[in-house]
Amino acid sequence: MTSEIIAGKYRMLRVLGDGGTGRVYLVDHIDLGAKYALKLLSKQLSEDLGFIERFKREAEILSRFSHPGSLQLRDFGRTLEGRYYMAIEYSDGVLLSDLIAEKQSFSIDEALDIVQQILSVLAAAHELGIVHRDIKPDNIMVERGESGENIVRILDFGIASLKERAELGADAANEGASIGTPEYMSPEQASGEGNLDHRVDIYATGIVLYELLAGQVPFQGDSIVKTLLLQLIQPLDPLPVSKNVPLLVEEIIAKALKKDRDLRFQSAADFREACNRAQRVLRGELRIEELEVMDRSSEFDSEDALAAPGNFDDSKTKILCLDDDPMILNILQHVLEQHDYNVSTISSYTQLHQHVFKDKVSLLLTDVQMPGLSGAKICAMLKKMKPDLKIILFSNIDTRELETLAAESHADAWMSKGLKPKEWLEVIDNLMMTKKK
């Protein structure tokens, strides 16, 4: 234990954590006798003017956001040595991640209660335009109330983006680098999309609810890249039968975890209300007949309903065509099947999993300008997981730009939509080393 004094008023008690932005201490205010968690920026970041401006803005956001379920900012300043700090309310609760590790899974009622508390905080934050972007059990503290009930406190509001900027650098962050933790990232975060909104928090909270009930996250790869790709294309599996999770709760989770954010709950308040009504039904306080019928699009895998894989002849080369233009897909399928290829077509990257990982196609032909996730990004991610999969980028953009994208994403070839179909075949035949007569 140390007696070092910070900013002339905070006595260090012990280190709580260490990270890319600096160190977090448990401190005691000399005059008030109150304990705080003090985040002390590293000397390097305290000299980074751009980072400091963002740090100040985040402090301003935290200062105007007040909710019982969020730890409050109590002080902000700079030490005599020039290092910036934030003093935040201290919680002596237990991290939700530690509780999950200890309990493995929670009762349905307990899980719904915890998630409703998380969503209450998020609803208030979202009304002010504040998005957390890193909701996960490591950022959720659970305190014990006077009657033994769980009281949830969310940590690091406004800090998640700063941590990522410090680790990636400002340039990377400005270019849309993903902020968050892979296992809890929404598909739009996983793809590196820059135009993020409050629905990333809804998705992450859905992951937390799944984890509370199953004892594990639904999407877990053996590498960061694989986990991100699973977030993008892996259909959501139902919870284990052994957990006895009612269908109405599974439907809530499925809706929160839609790959398409427009199909998720559109607000934390709506998500919370769905959890509350399900909880009341399970407690016998509400008849199931009174429960509003959820849109059946919230069923597991319905959004990701896969195109029929086709009756593949194993003796023929399997090709998967991805394009959002039905006419292009029809032309490709006709031309390729006429030349003895087995062809399957899909119109969304969310349908990739079945074909790439289960049907084991030999070649993916992907449009570059796909909505939600560009063909170049799809290629780059798949190449890291399945280097043997042949991939061709297909587009009507300028050929020099297309060639550059193909090189950067490690595509095996590229071809312009402006070519004649017989020229498409030449590119494909040459790549697959099977000259078709």
DSSP class of residue 282 equals H
d(CA 144, CA 87): 23
Q: Which residues make Cβ contacts (< 8 Å) with residue 292, sequence separation at least 6? A: 277
Query: Across the strands, what pairs with 142?
Result: 94, 152
The CB density around residue 116, as the number of other CB atoms within 10 Å, is 20
Pairing of strands 390-395, 363-367: parallel
Pairing of strands 84-89, 35-41: antiparallel
Longest dimension (CA), the chain: 88
The CB density around residue 141, as the number of other CB atoms within 10 Å, is 21
Catalytic-residue membership of 134: yes
* Catalytic option among 134, 156, 201, 323: 134
| Strand segments (E) across 317-429 | 318-322, 342-346, 363-367, 390-395, 413-416
197 HSE (CA, 13 A, CB side): 10
Pick from 298, 286, 216, 204: nearest CA to 249: 298
DSSP class of residue 242 equals G
Q: Which residues make Cβ contacts (< 8 Å) with residue 30, sequence separation at least 6? A: 5, 9, 10, 11
Helices (H) and strands (E) in the chain, counts: 16, 14
In which order are the strands placed within the sheet that holds 10-18? 5-6, 10-18, 22-29, 35-41, 84-89, 73-78
Indicate which residues carry an active-site annotation: 134
